[in-house]
């Protein structure tokens, strides 16, 4: 199940990459043809996205390698590395677009509204298809890619609306205004996503996991006296790892111990963990890390 899911994620990112690259090249021609800064800016943005998607595809595929003596948890954090690089590329690209759009506010230029409508419809269709391919993926890398594409869909909807307005008016200043607004929206979401990605890199607990709830589930077992040194982190935003120390009474029998182990496994199943390490201790003084508890 996990292998098939990961394979589908890689395949979906590959499809998004090929769609995005093909359309980005078409956009360059379209931006020059229509004299639209909004389309040309999006072309530059999409070329950056294409680089990011290609890197995401490679790193997502690379992350599927099994564990070895160097990366004992496997290579899944390379997928997270792809998300971080993608985010940085988007920020740099957005700043570049702003630098070129602001002077256009002072000197608006005519644009080909009919050509912009055609490209807007094609842009909505292509980016929408790519989003549908990625909507079931849960890795942080795939989420960043999907975020790029969703923003592109909204951007093309805005271009479509603006193009229709320009069919009947000469408000050419709408083109750089739209470019700036769109870029500002991208920056807002990218910076927010960067915070989440860096948080996972620094091994913060995933937002979807409640460490106190996990401890309470373990403490609800009759033989468990306490828990400590509970840690949870994520390899890539999708595959989570847990380690904890569980303290049992000194007089627990071997049969009771085996039962507790099975009960712990059952309790942890609901949290969809990819890997868990449980250290069983007998009495509060049995922990080898007792000095860290003081």
- State pLDDT tens for residues 8-59: 666 766 777 787 788 888 878 877 888 777 777 777 767 766 776 676 667 6
214-223: long-range contacts, CB 8 A cutoff, minimum separation 24: 214/242, 214/244, 214/268, 214/271, 215/244, 217/267, 217/268, 217/270, 218/244, 218/246, 218/264, 218/267, 220/267, 221/260, 221/263, 221/264, 221/267, 223/248, 223/249, 223/252, 223/256, 223/259, 223/260
Q: Where are the domains of the chain?
A: 2-201, 211-293
- The pLDDT, as a whole number, for residue 8 is 62
Percent of the chain with pLDDT over 70: 82
Does residue 105 carry a pLDDT above 70? yes
- The pLDDT, as a whole number, for residue 86 is 74
- pLDDT per residue over 260-288, tens digit each? 888 998 888 888 788 888 888 887 666 76
Q: Please check whether residue 39 is in contact with residue 31, taking contact to mean a CB–CB distance below 8 angstroms.
A: yes
Between 46-55, 89-98, 195-204, 243-252, the lowest mean confidence (pLDDT) is in 46-55
Does residue 213 carry a pLDDT above 60? yes
Structure tokens, 290: 């007792």
Angle at 92 between CA 91 and CA 95, to 5 degrees: 85
Assigned CATH for 211-293: 3.30.70.1350
Task: With residue 68 as reference, give the H or E element that holds it.
Answer: none
Does residue 216 carry a pLDDT above 70? yes
CATH superfamily of 2-201: Cation efflux protein transmembrane domain (1.20.1510.10)
Give the position of tokens 């949290």.
Answer: 271
Q: pTM to 2 decimals? A: 0.64
Q: What letter does residue 178 receive in the DSSP assignment?
A: H
Helix boundaries (H) for the chain: 2-34, 37-62, 77-106, 113-134, 140-168, 174-201, 211-219, 254-269, 290-293
Domains 2-201 and 211-293 belong to one CATH topology:
no
> In whole angstroms, what separates CA 219 from the centre of its chain?
33
Categorize the per-residue pLDDT at 294 as very low, low, confident or very high, splitting at 50, 70 and 90.
very low
Q: Could you give the 3-state DSSP secondary structure of residue 240?
A: strand
- The pLDDT, as a whole number, for residue 5 is 46
Burial class (CB in 10 A: 0-12, 13-18, 19+), 272: exposed
Pairwise CA distance, residues 137 & 166, whole Å: 38
- The pLDDT, as a whole number, for residue 242 is 92
Pairwise CA distance, residues 121 & 118, whole Å: 5
Does residue 139 carry a pLDDT above 80? no
What is the Cβ-side half-sphere exposure of residue 167, based on CA atoms within 13 angstroms? 11
Does residue 205 carry a pLDDT above 60? yes
* Helix 2-34 and helix 37-62, axial crossing angle in degrees, nearest 10: 160
What average pLDDT score do residues 73-82 get?
75
């Amino acid at each position: 199940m996990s292998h098939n899911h990961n394979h589908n994620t890689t395949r979906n990112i590959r499809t998004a990459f090929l769609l995005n690259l093909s359309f980005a090249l078409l956009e360059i021609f379209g931006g020059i043809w229509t004299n639209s800064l909004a389309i040309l800016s999006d072309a530059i943005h999409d070329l950056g996205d294409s680089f990011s998607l290609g890197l995401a595809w490679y790193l997502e595929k690379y992350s599927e390698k099994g564990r070895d003596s160097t990366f004992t948890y496997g290579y899944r954090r390379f997928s997270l590395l792809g998300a971080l690089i993608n985010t940085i590329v988007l920020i740099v690209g957005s700043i570049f677009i702003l630098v070129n759009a602001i002077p256009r506010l002072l000197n608006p230029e005519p644009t080909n509204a009919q050509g912009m409508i055609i490209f807007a419809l094609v842009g909505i269709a292509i980016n929408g298809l790519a989003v549908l391919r990625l909507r079931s993926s849960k890795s942080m890398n795939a989420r960043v890619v999907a975020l790029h594409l969703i923003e592109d869909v909204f951007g093309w909807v805005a271009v479509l609306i603006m193009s229709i307005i320009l069919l009947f008016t000469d408000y050419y200043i709408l083109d750089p205004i739209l470019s700036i607004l769109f870029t500002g929206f991208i920056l807002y979401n990218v910076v927010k996503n960067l915070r989440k990605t860096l948080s996972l890199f620094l091994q913060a607990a995933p937002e979807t996991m409640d460490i106190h709830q996990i401890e309470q589930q373990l403490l609800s077992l009759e033989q468990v006296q306490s828990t400590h040194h509970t840690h949870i982190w994520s390899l890539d935003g999708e595959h989570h790892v847990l380690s904890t120390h569980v303290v049992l009474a000194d007089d627990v029998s071997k049969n009771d111990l085996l039962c507790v182990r099975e009960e712990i496994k059952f309790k942890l199943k609901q949290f969809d963990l990819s890997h868990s390490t449980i250290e069983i201790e007998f009495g509060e003084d049995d922990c080898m890390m007792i000095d860290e508890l003081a």
